[in-house]
Amino acid sequence: MAKKEIIEHYTSLCRMCDNRCGINVYVENGRIIDITGLREHKWNHGRICVKGRLGVDQVNAPDRILKPLKRVGSRWEEIDLEQAYDEIAVKIKKLQATWGKRAMSIWKGEALGFLTQEELARRFTHAIGSPNYFSNDSQCYVGRWIGYALVTGNWATQDFINTRCAVIWGSNPPYSQPNLTQAILGAKEKGAKIIVIDIRLSAIARQADEFVQILPGTDGALALGIARQLIEDDNISHKFISGYTHGFEEYAEYVAAFTPDRVEKETGIPADTVVHIAREIGNRRPKISIYAGNGLEHHENGINNIRAIACLDGLLGNLDELGGNFIAEKPDLRSLTLYREKPLRHLQPIGADRFPVLYDFRKECHTMTGMDTILTGKPYPLKGMILSGGNPALTNPNSRKVVKALKALELFVVRELFMTETAKLADYVLPAASYLEHSELHFHPIHQIIGISRQIVTFENCDYDYIFYKKLAARMGVEKYFPWKDSEELTRWMLQDTGITIDDLLAHPEGLEYKPRRYQKYKDNDLLSTPSGKFEFVSDYLKNYGYSYLPEYIPPTYITRPNPEYPYVLSTGARKVFYTHGRNRNFKCCKTAIPNPDIEIHPIDAKNLGVSTGDIVTVTSTVGSVDIPVKVVHSSHILPGVTQITHGWKESNVNLVTHDDRNDPIDGFPLLKSVEIKIKPKVDTSDI
């Protein structure tokens, strides 16, 4: 017991993925020794996943970068941190003087922080006069956000806890958002139907009442088919449609063509299943929560497929309902971005001309266009980048091009915890602070609660994001944008209009409710945040840009123009329980549990190829190829002809075969989940 007395206990929030579960952090002699779930937290109720516990491994990892490094020829040399800042500032100034302010860019990854980190990156970019803020978001999350926002003005949050029907579409919460699983299965216990629509029998599909196995990229056809059936059965909310929607007539006319037979042809789902699930969903109106996952956004018709799913909310009347898709109100935090004070759209943010919707909605530059810009200098030179906690060399499509582009930068600074494939390409690698080394605000929209993560330990040389930007801003002559002493002062400023103090947040580790939940807010004065203020079955905004007015279904290329040379279709990016994208591969525990990457294939395909589990195959697309071991899965797990590879493995990097230049026309998201490939067994020459 004596030992326990010297152990300090802190409450905080986990940042090993986006779930931000409440955690207890235990510190002994200045070292974090354990992380457990925080019982009172409203999101996770004391439970965490093993990835959360890996926070201990991450913060104490022996391979952490703790010294600033400078590239000298082909070697790394240690450099004093302040000197590194001096040198970087001089180089940025020189680069901007030579090539223009917009030749410098910032890239925000997800390994270090969250909301405040993102806003600081945006703030710094504009502070130094460049419009070029990049992030992982131009190929993750934002596609669904835009798809939904086009229809409802918002991406609603699923109120699974109170739902009567949970539709999990292209997502596997047990691995990607672990503690969402509790809410979904808690609803199941109370009698809710669980419908899982996926190309793979995922972990959540194992507990579904209905598992609907769909061909990759055909989700729009299913959504339109469900809509047609709901309308035919008159299983729709007339009150919502007549009072709060725009374009129903045209939409209803369009969906009429998506008969169960047509949907079967497009999606591979039996016609009677389409009718059945439409009724299972419709009969539970309005307490229906539909979650559109990452599986939907990496397709050539991604946005319209997501719009088609979003449109179901208009028929079902489940929008902003208890147990439906709830439009959470946000806390009144002060924003750190400078889009109002210092708009820079006239400087042509990269990608904003090709994908204006992406910039309109999210002020995101397009990373894939960014790579081309670096390599071609068109439409203007892009010569410098500071990247924090991201690993595009593994996680962006067409890795070969990404590596070539990042290498070509005149100045490439990476702030990281570990020597990633991306950090290896940098001119300077600066040690970063993990989520346990800085404080940040977080909120859980479904409960409308706000919380604060805490600075629990610190390491010499590991400046957290705010300090990094503040120090660099001072050297760049833009310190006026970073007046706060530290993150505490900054947080206090952000909270100023909320009436909430840091002490309040510390006193409420379970999450402080910033506003009570209200439903059907669109009925009051708060119209939906769309151009018409209504639920938009059709979009005049998109039409003005020359895009589809309706949530039009265009089948994927592998179906409409099959290429006999590339007969298989590859989906990438299914999650594993310990990994968040490219991260955590360096921890021994994970290596023990999952020692190698693999390509999941159907037993029939394995037989045709003459391969079994463990055999190495070469996977080739028109972009490139990668060698990878085979995993033959049970015949119910994946459809014949369909394959899956999880991203983030440097040993077999699947993004060597994915497309950076086949994009959804509206948001520019890359084609990652229906890539045409060929598979060849690799002849083992070692025995010959």
Complex with other proteins: residue 499 or 595, whichever CB lies closer: 595
CB of 39 to other proteins, least distance (A): 9
Q: Which residues bind other proteins (CB under 8 A)?
A: 36-37, 44, 46-50, 53, 174-175, 178-179, 181-182, 185-186, 188-189, 203-204, 206-207, 577-578, 588-590, 592-593, 634, 636-637
Distance, in Å, from the CA atom of 676 to the CA atom of 568, rounded to the nearest integer, reads 6
CB of 638 to other proteins, least distance (A): 12
DSSP 463: B
DSSP 416: E
Q: Which amino acid is at 686?
A: S
CB of 590 to other proteins, least distance (A): 7
Complex with other proteins: residue 49 or 127, whichever CB lies closer: 49
Complex with other proteins: residue 186 or 381, whichever CB lies closer: 186
CB of 203 to other proteins, least distance (A): 4
Neighbours of 11 (CB within 10 A): 20
Q: Which residues contact 313 (CB under 8 A, 6 or more apart)?
A: 151, 152, 156, 290, 319, 324, 325, 535
CB of 446 to other proteins, least distance (A): 16
Distance, in Å, from the CA atom of 364 to the CA atom of 359, rounded to the nearest integer, reads 5
Complex with other proteins: residue 189 or 684, whichever CB lies closer: 189
User: Within 13 A of 98's CA, how many CA atoms are on the CB side?
Assistant: 13
CB of 134 to other proteins, least distance (A): 32
CB of 56 to other proteins, least distance (A): 10
Complex with other proteins: residue 180 or 385, whichever CB lies closer: 180
198 strand-pairing partners:
213
Distance, in Å, from the CA atom of 235 to the CA atom of 405, rounded to the nearest integer, reads 53
Q: Which residues contact 341 (CB under 8 A, 6 or more apart)?
A: none
Question: Which has the closest alpha carbon to 199: 654, 601, 619?
Answer: 601
Distance of CA 596 to the CA centre of its chain: 24
Complex with other proteins: residue 35 or 473, whichever CB lies closer: 35
Distance, in Å, from the CA atom of 325 to the CA atom of 157, rounded to the nearest integer, reads 5
Q: Which residues contact 164 (CB under 8 A, 6 or more apart)?
A: 187, 191, 192, 193, 284, 287, 288, 323
Distance, in Å, from the CA atom of 258 to the CA atom of 375, rounded to the nearest integer, reads 44
Complex with other proteins: residue 184 or 472, whichever CB lies closer: 184
Complex with other proteins: residue 207 or 348, whichever CB lies closer: 207
Distance, in Å, from the CA atom of 444 to the CA atom of 479, rounded to the nearest integer, reads 32
Complex with other proteins: residue 17 or 146, whichever CB lies closer: 17
CB of 200 to other proteins, least distance (A): 13
Q: Which residues contact 517 (CB under 8 A, 6 or more apart)?
A: 326, 328, 448
CB of 66 to other proteins, least distance (A): 23
